[in-house]
Amino acid sequence: MDPQASSQDRTLHERARLQWQCRRGMLELDAMLQDFMDKRYDDLTPAELQAFEMLLKAPDQLLLDYLMGHAIPIDTEVANVAQQIRYAAGP
Amino acid sequence: MDGTVTDVGVQPVTLARRQFDSLVIGAGGGGLRAALQLATADANVAVVSKVFPTRSHTVAAQGGINAALANVLPDNWHWHMYDTIKGSDYLGDQDAIEYMCRSASHLVYELEHAGVPFSRLDDGKIYQRPFGGQSQNFGGEQAARTCAAADRTGHAMLHTLYQQNIHAKTHFFDEYFAIDLIKDDEGFVLGALVLEIETGKPLLIEAKTTLIATGGAGQLFRTNTNARINTGDGMGMALRAGIPLQDMEFFQFHPTGVAGRGMLLTEGARGEGGYLINKDGERFMERYAPHAKDLASRDVVSRAISTEVREGRGCGPDGEYVLLKLDHLGRDVLQKRLPGISDTIRTFLHIDPAEEPVPVFPTAHYTMGGIPTNRHGQVVVPIDQGEEVIPGLYAAGECACVSVHGANRLGGNSLLDIVVFGRAAGNDIIEYLSNNRYHRRLDEASVDKAVDHLQRWDLQGEGESVANLRNELQLTMEKYCGVFRTEVVLAEGIEKVLELQQRMADVRLQDHSRIFNTARIEAMELENLFDIAVATVVSAHARQESRGAHSRIDYPERDDVHWLKHSLYYKRDRRLDYKPVTLKPISVESFPPKERVY
Ligand SMILES: Cc1cc2nc3c(=O)[nH]c(=O)nc-3n(C[C@H](O)[C@H](O)[C@H](O)COP(=O)(O)OP(=O)(O)OC[C@H]3O[C@@H](n4cnc5c(N)ncnc54)[C@H](O)[C@@H]3O)c2cc1C
């Protein structure tokens, strides 16, 4: 990234990068992650943001298990974000 | 402008170029199986994928992969072949189907040896489950032909193939978006222009062969089961390169998707006693299928739902869906027998299925049509009386039409299709490379055209938004080219889709940054969707019969006299052409068209 980019640019780029990481191989994941980005992204604390990034690194099937609550991530912050995503899904 | 691009407002930057023996566009099961064949033969192969490879849509396939292993019930490839031809409503090419069914066992064992953890029987053999459309002895008793790795077969296959490719030193371009093919005057395909999503920089990948393996186009319809990446980009690229798309009118729908969102609610829900009602609380399937009722075949249930909605008996504020009643089954049964469905309903609708009925609508699932190929994965187009191969171009997987699924795909045959024809294409490419040792001279005009296409998205100013236009397109396709098809509806559909497509010219992006500019990617995906939408609705309008997934209210019968043929749609002048179905298998007798009853 351009070292001279303003911090606002950097925030925008960061959001755009995460937005693309939310494009997954399954509709269920796309839908839940998109709902979360739309509803909750702007309110995330730095710690939650970091946990969200970690969560997005999980392979799709495991991520689905986490988000549907069939498995719980070991890291409590990550587990908390997974739960928030589940609650943000839907209407 | 020889090989340079202008960065908006910045000085020109040189277009970076890389050379490979072979380029594979798409890292789902089809692309990865082909790349593996190439890399293990020491070809220098590049795989481009717009998302990280293991996030490809293949990961979503849960049901399994078909092969006549005969581990649970008697079986052989010839019965599998018969079922596939019958399932295709006789539109499948019998040579390709024979080839696929004969190769199936070998390829499944190969996946097993590579580490796919198939579920097992007590004797250690691969477990096989029965799926719809599978029979013993050419239409006899139910067969059990589907091999599964628990409920994550696609995931296991994709991860295994990816690891094998890493080991074989395949070169991956992760998060690169392919824009257009590069083609010279003599018709040779020479690679593609791609875009690095992270930096927004274009890259020209020159290759002696290019394989398109970009998957299906479920995003054509508002309600669909596909991941958002399934925008049929490779099919759009082919159309723009002058190559026709085959059999696009055949799109498989599943009757019960979550209304407005698309997620699949399996047949199990109705199998356990769930039933559909309209806004008057009427169990309307009794009218459409007095015997089978809610368990009638997929197309019958889909059309019934669509008819109820069209005739004003839909539920909800806009009357846009019907309701699936499950609450009478009781919480215990739902939790025990339908846990997955209950989860989906709770998560995406915030409804408790034990208390309230569930809004459902037919959901688009699988693209039977695609880029025409022969069973070696070569892209072929008609010429005079026969066919001609497009030199250097291949296609495999859901974006291709080889055609093994014909008018209707059987469950479990798609994961098979992608590995069988991914490998076949790999083998043919190896032969092509041995006869074509050098890169041909690059066609700069074709490169310029692709670069211009990309730069169109640098236009500034006020204009329409991509998201709006995409929503309108998806709604229009659902309404005018979904499961309810008549002459009038489809003719109106063509008009509406073309009107919408014209508005693409007025679309402007608000975001012109380079880094992870997803708006630009989504704009190019929408261009592809538009080209494919026109192909689909024009082909559907022309086909005056009902066959497999294409069912016309005004032509309810299959018409083998006039329509036992493949459609070919060309972007130029929106021209349609047709070619015969290959009824002659490779080594066995042909299965002549018969009435398809189950
Ligand atoms: C919910 C669901 C369940 C299914 N279950 C089964 C099942 O149980 N059994 C079965 O046989 N079939 C099943 N199918 C069908 C099957 O999963 C697919 O047909 C198959 O996985 C398609 O594989 P593919 O390799 O052709 O494409 P995909 O796996 O879709 O991969 C496409 C690749 O192309 C890349 N790509 C696309 N466009 C571009 C571009 N412009 N630039 C760069 N890269 C690009 C993507 O990044 C991706 O890597 C299911 C489908 C769905 C929707």
Going through B269-383 in order, the beta strands assigned E by DSSP cover 275-277, 322-325, 358-367, 371-372, 378-383
CA B584 – CA B591 distance, rounded (Å):
8
Which CATH number is associated with domain B252-362?
3.90.700.10
B294 has a chain A CB within 8 A of its CB: no
CB-side neighbour CA atoms (13 Å) of B422: 31
Nearest-CB residue to B58 (from A13, A19, A25):
A25
The 3-state DSSP composition of chain A as helix, strand, coil percent (nearest 5) reads 70, 0, 30
CA A87 – CA B211 distance, rounded (Å):
41
Ligand 1 centroid from CA B28, angstroms = 6
Indicate yes or no: CB of A26 within 8 angstroms of CB of B60: yes
CA B405 – CA B408 distance, rounded (Å):
6
The shortest C-alpha distance from A88 to chain B (Å) reads: 9
Nearest-CB residue to A25 (from B60, B262, B347):
B60
User: Residue B520 is which amino acid?
Assistant: R
Going through B441-564 in order, the beta strands assigned E by DSSP cover none
The shortest C-alpha distance from B492 to chain A (Å) reads: 30
Indicate yes or no: CB of A12 within 8 angstroms of CB of B513: yes
Closest CA to B225 of B371, B361, B51: B361
CA B92 – CA B131 distance, rounded (Å):
19
Indicate yes or no: CB of A17 within 8 angstroms of CB of B513: no
**DSSP string across B80-93:** HHHHHHHHTTT-S-
Which tokens hold the place of B370?
């695609």
Indicate yes or no: CB of A86 within 8 angstroms of CB of B59: no
Indicate yes or no: CB of B51 within 8 angstroms of CB of A23: yes
- Are residues B197 and B52 in contact, defined by beta-carbon separation less than 8 angstroms? no
Q: Whose CA is nearest to atom 4 of ligand 1?
A: B61
- Give the position, in ligand 1's atom list, of the atom nearest the Cα of B179: 41
Bridge partners of B370, per DSSP, are: B246
Q: What is the fold, at CATH topology level, of the domain defined by A3-89? A: DNA polymerase; domain 1 (1.10.150)
Which tokens hold the place of B462?
């006020």
- Are residues A64 and A45 in contact, defined by beta-carbon separation less than 8 angstroms? no
CA B255 – CA B322 distance, rounded (Å):
11
Left if phi > 0, otherwise alpha if psi is -120 to 50, otherwise beta: which for B112?
A: alpha
User: Residue B574 is which amino acid?
Assistant: R
CA B414 – CA B252 distance, rounded (Å):
12
Nearest-CB residue to A23 (from B58, B60, B228):
B228
Active site residue B129: no
Domain with CATH 1.20.58.100 in chain B: 458-574
Indicate yes or no: CB of B60 within 8 angstroms of CB of A86: no
Reported ipTM: the value is 0.93
Ligand 1 centroid from CA B283, angstroms = 36
Cβ-Cβ pairs closer than 8 A, A with B, add up to 90
CATH 1.20.58.100 fits B458-574, yes or no: yes
Ligand 1 centroid from CA B423, angstroms = 16
Ligand 1 centroid from CA B265, angstroms = 19
- Are residues B580 and B92 in contact, defined by beta-carbon separation less than 8 angstroms? no
| Three-class DSSP category at B14 | strand
Please name the residues in contact with B311: beta carbons below 8 A apart, sequence gap of 6 or more.
none
Nearest-CB residue to A25 (from B56, B263, B516):
B56
| Three-class DSSP category at B165 | helix
Which of B298, B303, B520, B547 is labelled catalytic?
Answer: B298
- Are residues B366 and B60 in contact, defined by beta-carbon separation less than 8 angstroms? no
Q: Determine the Cα angle at B471 with ends B468 and B472, to 5°.
A: 85
**pLDDT tens track, chain B, 598 positions:** 333 444 443 334 579 999 999 999 999 999 999 999 999 999 999 999 999 999 999 999 988 999 999 999 999 999 999 999 999 999 999 999 999 999 999 999 999 999 999 999 999 999 999 888 899 999 999 999 999 998 899 999 999 999 999 999 999 999 999 999 999 999 999 999 999 999 999 999 999 999 999 999 999 999 999 999 999 999 999 999 999 999 999 999 999 999 999 999 988 888 889 999 999 999 999 999 888 898 888 888 998 999 999 999 999 999 999 999 999 999 998 988 888 899 999 999 999 999 999 999 999 999 999 999 999 999 999 998 889 999 999 999 999 999 999 999 999 999 999 999 999 999 999 999 999 999 999 999 999 999 999 999 999 999 999 999 999 999 999 999 999 999 999 999 999 999 999 999 999 998 888 888 999 999 999 999 999 999 999 999 999 999 999 999 999 999 999 999 999 999 999 999 999 999 999 999 999 998 877 6
Nearest Cα residue in chain B from A63: B55
Integer distance in angstroms from the first to the last C-alpha of chain A? 36
